Structure 1
Amino acid sequence: MKTKAIRLYGKEDLRLEEFELPQIKEDEILAKVVSDSICMSSYKAAKQGPDHKRVPDNVHENPIIIGHEFAGEIVEVGAKWQHKFKPGQKYSIQPAIYYENGPMGILSAPGYSYPHIGGDATYVIIPKDVLEQDCLLAYDGPGYYPASLAEPLSCVIGAMHANYHTKPGSYIHQMEIVDGGKMAILAGVGPMGLAAINYVVNRKDRKPSQLVITDIDQGRLDRAAEIFPPAWANEKGIELIYLNTGNVDNPVEKLKEISGGGYNDVFVFAPVAPVVEQGDAILAHDGCLNFFAGPSDPNFSAKLNFYNVHYAYTHIVGTSGGNNDDMVEALDCMSKGLDPAGLITHVGGLNAVAETTLNLPKIPGGKKLIYTHKKLSLTAISDFEEKGKSDPFYAELAKLVSKTKGLWNVEAEKYLLENAPEI
Structure 2
Amino acid sequence: MKTKAVRLYGKADLRLEEFDLPEIKDDEILAKVVCDSLCMSSYKASNQGTDHKRVPNDVADNPVIIGHEFAGELVQVGSKWSSQFKEGDKFSIQPALNYKEGPVGVLSAPGYSYHHIGGDSTYVVIPNEVMELGCLLPYKGDGFYPASLSEPLSCVIGAIHANYHTTPGSYIHNMEIVEDGKMALLAGVGPMGLAAINYVLHREDRKPSLLVVTDIDQTRLDRAALLYTVDFAASRGIDLRYINTGEMADPIAGLKAISGEDGFNDVFVFAPVAPVVEQADAILGFDGCLNFFAGPSKQDFKAQMNFYNVHYAYTHVVGTSGGNTDDMKEALDIMSKGLDPAGLVTHVGGLNAVIDATLDLPNIPGGKKLIYNHVEMPLTAIADFKELGKNNAVYCMLADVCAKNNGLWSVEAEELLLANAGALQY
Show the counterpart of 2:107.
107
1:2-45: CA deviations, max 9, x gaps?
Answer: 22222233333322222222221110011110001122222233
Pairwise CA distance, 1:323:
1.4
CA distance in 1, matches of 2:273, 2:132: 40
Show the counterpart of 1:297.
298
Q: Give TM-score, length-normalised by structure 2.
A: 0.95
RMSD across aligned C-alpha pairs, in angstroms? 1.7
Show the counterpart of 1:183.
183
> Are 2:394 and 2:423, in contact at CA under 8 Å, matched by a contact in 1?
no
Pairwise CA distance, 1:140:
1.4
**Paired residue total:** 423
Show the counterpart of 2:318.
317
> Are 2:44 and 2:297, in contact at CA under 8 Å, matched by a contact in 1?
no
Q: Residues 312, 10 of structure 1: CA spacing in aligned structure 2 closer, same or farther, 3 A cutoff?
A: closer
Q: Residue 24 in 1 paired to residue 57 in 2?
A: no
1:327 maps to amino acid: M
Moved more, 261-270 or 243-252: 243-252
What is the correspondence of 1:302-381 to structure 2 with a 5 Å cutoff?
A: 302-381=303-382
Pairwise CA distance, 1:326:
1.2
CA distance in 1, matches of 2:289, 2:297: 23
1:302-361: CA deviations, max 9, x gaps?
Answer: 222222222222111122211121111111111222111122121111111122222223
2:182 maps to amino acid: K
Pairwise CA distance, 1:422:
8.8
CA distance in 1, matches of 2:300, 2:112: 26
1:136-165: CA deviations, max 9, x gaps?
Answer: 111112211111111111110111011111
CA distance in 1, matches of 2:422, 2:17: 18
Show the counterpart of 2:388.
387
CA distance in 2, matches of 1:88, 1:105: 31
Q: Residues 384, 55 of structure 1: CA spacing in aligned structure 2 closer, same or farther, 3 A cutoff?
A: same
User: Aligned with 2:14: secondary structure?
Assistant: strand
Pairwise CA distance, 1:63:
2.6
Moved over 6 A (4+): none
Q: Residues 19, 84 of structure 1: CA spacing in aligned structure 2 closer, same or farther, 3 A cutoff?
A: same
1:149 maps to amino acid: L
Gaps of 5+ in 2: none
Gaps of 5+ in 1: none
Show the counterpart of 2:124.
124
Show the counterpart of 2:56.
56
CA distance in 2, matches of 1:101, 1:277: 39
Pairwise CA distance, 1:403:
2.0
User: Aligned with 2:286: secondary structure?
Assistant: strand
CA distance in 1, matches of 2:16, 2:243: 45
> Are 1:375 and 1:422, in contact at CA under 8 Å, matched by a contact in 2?
no
> Are 2:67 and 2:111, in contact at CA under 8 Å, matched by a contact in 1?
yes
Q: Give TM-score, length-normalised by structure 1.
A: 0.95
CA distance in 2, matches of 1:145, 1:138: 14
Q: Residues 360, 249 of structure 1: CA spacing in aligned structure 2 closer, same or farther, 3 A cutoff?
A: closer
2:404 maps to amino acid: K
Moved more, 37-46 or 65-74: 37-46
